[in-house]
Structure 1
Amino acid sequence: MVGANGLIPDLVTGSTDLTDSLETLVHLAAAALSQLAGVPIECALVLNRVKRARATAGTGTRPVSLARLEGEVGEGPLTEALTGTGTAAMNHVDSDFRWARYRPYLQDAGFASVLGLRLSLDEGTEAAIAFFAASSQAFPLPVIAEARSFTDLASRGLRLALELQSASTRASDLQSALESRTSIDIACGVIMAQNRCSYNDAIAIISKASSHRNIKLRKVAEGILASLPGGAPDTHFEH
């Protein structure tokens, strides 16, 4: 596939976070389709995840604006790709009567052809990518077939990038929990020494302060440690 070499490594190892991965993907996709179609192509992508805000990426302001517009008007190539067969092509924007609310914006942006394709991701996650061209008939069947091959590869790369991001988030949450637990335990030790009380009594004191001041246990504990003569001890774990 033209332009697809190194796609998965670029999405995973060549990106610092998910946003970077999405930006990398749309630029690689635009370059690949530009070669295939023989005309300049712009690209946009939307990613929907459970309990997460929709993520949008694009090669410029026009494709990004059009992608976000679909969320407002409820139609367009990305929407049709996600809810229909997985492929939505419009090669003559001026004479095609689909997407009556969306199409005028497509024309105003200067695009005469558009192609939307769904990416194959894990359950609970969905994404689609759209390609835009200023010339009509930019996406004949052979180009669409090659574009599908590209999105198959892109789907594998994006699935891996999402898995790595999820693993990184879990590791960060665990580290934060360990640091929080350590701060609370050390603060309990300070209270136990000062008040000659049990661990349970110390926890009760911190909990009461947390409830009274409407702040988290960890913040109360950190305040206790910060008031020590030598300052708060280091409770951070190495990655």
Structure 2
Amino acid sequence: MQYRTGEGPCLETLANKQDSHITDTSAEPRWRAFCVEALAHGVRSCLSLPLLGPDGLVGGYNLYNPHPGAFDDDVQARMRLFAGTAAGAVALGLRLADQSELNEDLHATLASRSVIDQAVGIVMAQQRCSVADAFALLGRASQNRNLKVHTLAAEIVTTVGARPPGPPPSSPTGELAPPGPEPGTRPAATTAPRGPRGGPVRGTDRREPRRVAGAHGTVTR
């Protein structure tokens, strides 16, 4: 209603970040277009409060009542306390939404970069050229075909790999995971060196053999 008429207590609150109060729409001289329509819908009193978060205005809190004078000083004071709490919750929700959008944009950027890097590697192998030359070839080809570099890179990777490129692997913490072993291979097991009786060898295993002279020759230990 207020957006349609272009006036009203809510729009006034959003504009000046101050409380706006109508005691009785039938006698309010301000915002006459809004008051006439609000009165026709049974609204007699209104209260609009700004929601002020840590970074500024995040919205408005509007209350309507079918009785005139419904929002006295005591009610307004209690509603201001509520509006302050609500503003903090709304500001937190907006910040979380912004962070989620930022994470999605970052993941999309990493995925796009991963595909381009794969395509550059393919061009390097095929043309036997440097990274800079491969990227320059990719750029010229994208211009000639009027395609984005990422789109052309995805085509190259799909052609060579026989399937569309997927997103870069990530660990449970959200960081990029290191590459795993090649398919069909087993990771090499690392074991400690063992002694002649099965126990671990302490210290370095690069000792020179010691020869001990005996009555019947030398013994190497």
Which shows bigger deviation, 149-158 or 100-109? 100-109
Q: CA RMSD in A?
A: 2.2
1:108-147 aligned at under 5 Å gives the runs 108-123=40-55, 125-147=57-79
Larger Rg: 2
SS of the residue corresponding to residue 173 of structure 1 reads helix
Offset of 1:82 from its aligned partner?
2.7
Aligned counterparts of 1:84 and 1:182: Cα–Cα separation in 2: 48
Identity percentage of aligned residues? 29
Aligned counterparts of 2:99 and 2:91: Cα–Cα separation in 1: 12
Aligned counterparts of 1:111 and 1:167: Cα–Cα separation in 2: 39
**Residues 197/162 of structure 1: CA separation in 2 closer, same or farther (3 Å cut):** same
SS of the residue corresponding to residue 160 of structure 1 reads helix
The count of corresponding residues between Structure 1 and Structure 2 is 171
Render the CA deviation track for 1:169-194: whole Å, top value 9, x for unaligned.
22222111111110100011111112
Offset of 1:148 from its aligned partner?
0.5
Offset of 1:150 from its aligned partner?
0.3
Correspondence 1:192 to 2:127:
no
1:10-21 aligned at under 5 Å gives the runs none
Aligned counterparts of 1:133 and 1:139: Cα–Cα separation in 2: 8
Correspondence 1:68 to 2:3:
yes
Correspondence 1:180 to 2:115:
no
- Residue of structure 2 in register with 1:159 after alignment: 91
- Residue of structure 2 in register with 1:170 after alignment: 102
Give structure 1 stretches of 5+ with no counterpart. Answer: 1-65
Considering fraction of residues, name the structure with more helix.
Answer: 1
SS of the residue corresponding to residue 53 of structure 2 reads coil
- Residue of structure 2 in register with 1:234 after alignment: 166
Aligned counterparts of 2:155 and 2:90: Cα–Cα separation in 1: 42
**Residues 130/212 of structure 1: CA separation in 2 closer, same or farther (3 Å cut):** farther
Pick 1 or 2: higher relative contact order, CA cutoff 8 A, min separation 6: 1
Offset of 1:125 from its aligned partner?
4.6
Aligned counterparts of 2:141 and 2:36: Cα–Cα separation in 1: 59
What TM-score do the two structures reach when normalised by structure 2? 0.68
**Residues 231/115 of structure 1: CA separation in 2 closer, same or farther (3 Å cut):** same
**AA of the residue aligned to 1:102:** F
**AA of the residue aligned to 1:208:** R
- Residue of structure 1 in register with 2:187 after alignment: none
**AA of the residue aligned to 1:163:** R
Aligned counterparts of 1:191 and 1:101: Cα–Cα separation in 2: 68
Give structure 2 stretches of 5+ with no counterpart. Answer: 175-221
1:68-107 aligned at under 5 Å gives the runs 68-69=3-4, 73=6, 75-84=7-16, 86-107=18-39
Correspondence 1:221 to 2:153:
yes
What TM-score do the two structures reach when normalised by structure 1? 0.63
Aligned counterparts of 1:124 and 1:207: Cα–Cα separation in 2: 44
